[in-house]
Amino acid sequence: VEVISTVARWRKTLDAERAAGRSVGLVPTMGYLHAGHGALIERAGAECDTVAVTVFVNPLQFGPAEDLAAYPRDLEADVVFAGSCGAAFVFAPPVEEMYRAGAQTTVHVAGVSAGFEGASRPGHFDGVATVVAKLFAQAGPCRAYFGEKDFQQLAVIRQLAVDLDLPVEVVGCPTVREADGLALSSRNVYLTPAERAIAPVLHRALEAGVDAARRERPTADAVRSAMTAVLAGASGVTVEYADVVDAHTLLPATEVIGDLRLLIAARLGRARLIDNMGVTV
């Protein structure tokens, strides 16, 4: 695996891949890679000739009271893991390379970024949209792979790629889960063993919501209540939201019909957990 730290070299490397007739699969990450990232890298490898992983903990998407300093990092292990999953290149720029002195541009996606994570974490999606627009501009024509675990983020990224005419096909990939249902996340390291045992309640709540949605003529509120009832039974879990939305607009559902997405965010100890599940009724 070749590790690259400058934008100029990254661009040159991926341009050379395309010039040699090889398609590029991009997997943007913030590092501390786990099997969920592994699945993205492997999918990119199955669909593209060359897999390029980015590892950059993006300060712009963390709020002032969030975990930027504590965010887990291990570039050496990430490079080995990315290579074992089939990546040829890893781009790991320092912060000053990604955000050069004097930069004045941020990218704001309206609409899909407004509620849920956007409301809970002001400025978060501007940070995500800005860095992803830069990563896409730096990488050039490619397919880019993102997990559905961050479902709203995926919607924001799809929108920005279309709106800015970026030559990138955005591919959403299913969430990878532990055997007990907990969605894989680099932030799961914040859970104590006792909290780790409680955390799969989010998945159980989503399943209860999906079951409710599939019942005869349910209301959207019945789906919401099915989720909150399960979450209420877990000690130490503070729910930020548990909602059912239109999977395309991310607006709260008024009727249980069409492509829907159930979204949950909850705090458990030091960790803030998010998860989601789709259902078509």
Using CB under 6 A as the binding rule, whether residue 58 contacts ligand PAF is answered as yes
Using CB under 6 A as the binding rule, whether residue 131 contacts ligand PAF is answered as yes
Instruction: Let me know if 34 is a catalytic residue.
Output: no
Using CB under 6 A as the binding rule, whether residue 142 contacts ligand PAF is answered as no
Half-sphere exposure of 196 (CA within 13 A, CB side): 11
How many Å apart are CA 233 and CA 216, to the nearest integer?
A: 25
List the x/- string, 144-183, binding to ligand PAF by CB under 6 A: ------x--x------------------------------
List 82, 132, 161, 210, residue binding ligand PAF (CB under 6 A): 132
Q: Which range in 15-23, 115-123, 126-134, 197-205 contacts ligand PAF by CB under 6 A?
A: 126-134
Sign of the torsion formed by the C-alpha atoms of 249, 255, 258 and 260: positive
Q: How far is the CB of 57 from ligand PAF (least distance, A)?
A: 8
Q: Are strands 168-173 and 142-147 parallel, antiparallel or unpaired?
A: parallel
Nearer CB in complex with ligand PAF: 131/213: 131
User: Which of 200-217 are b and which e, b meaning 16 or more Cβ less than 10 Å from the residue's Cβ?
Assistant: bbbbbbbbbbbebbeeee
Q: Are 268 and 199 in contact (CB under 8 A)?
A: yes
List the x/- string, 61-100, binding to ligand PAF by CB under 6 A: x---------------------------------------
Nearer CB in complex with ligand PAF: 116/253: 116
List 25, 28, 86, 218, residue binding ligand PAF (CB under 6 A): 28
Q: Are 243 and 116 in contact (CB under 8 A)?
A: yes
Helix (H/G/I), strand (E/B), else coil: 73: coil
Q: Which range in 26-34, 99-107, 203-211, 258-266 contacts ligand PAF by CB under 6 A?
A: 26-34
Nearer CB in complex with ligand PAF: 128/244: 128
How many Å apart are CA 156 and CA 178, to the nearest integer?
A: 26
Q: How far is the CB of 230 from ligand PAF (least distance, A)?
A: 26
- Residue among 90, 119, 104 at smallest CA distance from 5: 90
Cα–Cα–Cα angle for 242, 67, 57, rounded to 5 degrees: 105
Residues binding ligand PAF (CB under 6 A):
28-30, 58, 61, 128, 131-132, 150, 153
Catalytic residue IDs: 37
